[in-house]
């Protein structure tokens, strides 16, 4: 398996522009997570899906952020309008429920977003 | 408040030496604790996952210990290699929590020098 795939790997945009980040989870995984990582705050969960349905979006910072999962193999995280404080590395991760509570989350390589 | 604190923030050691990273947590009730390794420019990769009933777990030169009574965990790296240079993140899951209920530490940045 190719693992979790994210695109683009790097994104530089100007303040006010719309940004769309993309994720393809590992085939067969039924959970998908979006995280944001900064030096100051570390890794933070933004939102996660189970079987394409959003379960918890309490980590989404504000209405400028939205996420969708139209099917089991694709998800997007959109920021509109973007602001300099959104600059961070955004990770997508996926996992399978399995039969144990000790599920494993597999992370993608991340998208480094810079908003100028 | 559920928190995960890691120490030290950063560490520099010479190749071949051993080191120990610390993780203290206040998450309760507790389900499992995991250590991730994150290389620069890449996503975190799981090293170990321990439930509350496990005291130690090894993965090659990495050995994690857990004391659920004192809410402390450590990650010991034996005979360090240059490739061990990375950030190591401690993550705790609350008992019965959903898959989204992971509490992340801010990590320890380890640099292994030749």
**Residue B57: pLDDT above 90?**
yes
Asked if A105 has any chain B CB less than 8 Å from its own CB, the reply is yes
* Contact across the interface for A101 and B31, Cβ inside 8 Å: yes
A56: nearest CA partner in chain B:
B100
The whole-number average pLDDT for the span A71-79 is 97
Q: Is A56's CB within 8 Å of B100's CB? A: yes
Q: What value does the mean pLDDT take over residues B72-78? A: 98
Between B2 and B8, residue with greater pLDDT: B8
CA dist B100 and B17 (Å) reads 36
Does the pLDDT value for residue A86 go beyond 90?
yes
Contact B38, B86 (CB under 8 A): yes
Question: What's chain B's average pLDDT?
Answer: 92
Find out whether B33 and B87 touch, Cβ atoms under 8 Å: no
Interchain proximity B105–A91, CB inside 8 Å? no
Q: Chain A: give the shortest CA distance to residue B105, in Å.
A: 7
How distant is the alpha carbon of residue B86 from its chain centre? 12
State yes or no: pLDDT of A3 exceeds 60: yes
Percent over 70 (pLDDT), chain B = 95
CB of A57 within 8 Å of a chain B CB? The answer is: no
Q: If you ran DSSP here, which 8-state letter would residue A86 be given?
A: G
A42 vs B99, more confident: A42
Given the structure tokens 């402390």, which residue do they identify?
B72
Distance from CA of B79 to the nearest CA of A (A): 27
**pLDDT digits over A8-27, tens only?**
999 999 999 999 999 999 99
CA B76 centroid distance within chain: 9
* pLDDT score of A97: 74
Question: Which chain A residues have a beta carbon less than 8 Å from that of B31?
Answer: 101
Q: Is the pLDDT at A103 greater than 90, yes or no?
A: no
pLDDT for B100 beyond 80: no
**Residue B29 reports pLDDT greater than 90:** no
Size of interface A-B (CB pairs under 8 A): 52
Contact: B99, A107; criterion CB under 8 Å: no
As given in the structure block, the two tokens for residue A10 are 């790097």
Res A17: pLDDT: 97
Confidence check: pLDDT of A100 > 60: no
pLDDT of the residue at B72:
96
């Amino acid at each position: 398996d190719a693992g979790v795939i994210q695109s683009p790997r790097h994104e530089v945009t100007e303040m006010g522009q719309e940004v769309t980040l993309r994720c393809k989870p590992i085939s067969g995984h039924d959970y998908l997570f979006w995280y944001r990582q900064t030096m100051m705050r570390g890794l933070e969960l933004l939102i996660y899906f189970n079987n394409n349905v959003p379960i918890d979006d309490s980590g989404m910072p504000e209405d400028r952020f939205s996420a969708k999962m139209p099917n089991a193999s694709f998800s997007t995280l959109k920021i509109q309008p973007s602001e300099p404080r959104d600059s961070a590395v955004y990770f997508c991760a996926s996992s399978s429920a399995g039969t144990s509570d000790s599920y494993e989350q597999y992370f993608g390589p991340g998208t480094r977003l810079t908003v100028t | 408040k559920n928190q995960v604190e890691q120490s030290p923030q950063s560490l520099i050691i010479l190749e071949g030496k051993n080191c120990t990273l610390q993780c203290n947590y206040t998450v309760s009730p507790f389900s499992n604790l995991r250590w991730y390794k994150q290389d620069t420019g890449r996503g975190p990769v799981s090293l170990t996952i321990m439930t509350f009933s496990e005291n130690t777990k090894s993965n090659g030169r990495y050995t994690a210990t857990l004391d659920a009574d004192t809410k402390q965990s450590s990650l010991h790296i034996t005979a360090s290699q240059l490739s061990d240079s990375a950030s190591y993140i401690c993550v705790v899951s609350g008992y019965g929590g959903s898959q989204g209920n992971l509490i992340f530490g801010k990590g320890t940045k380890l640099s292994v020098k030749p």
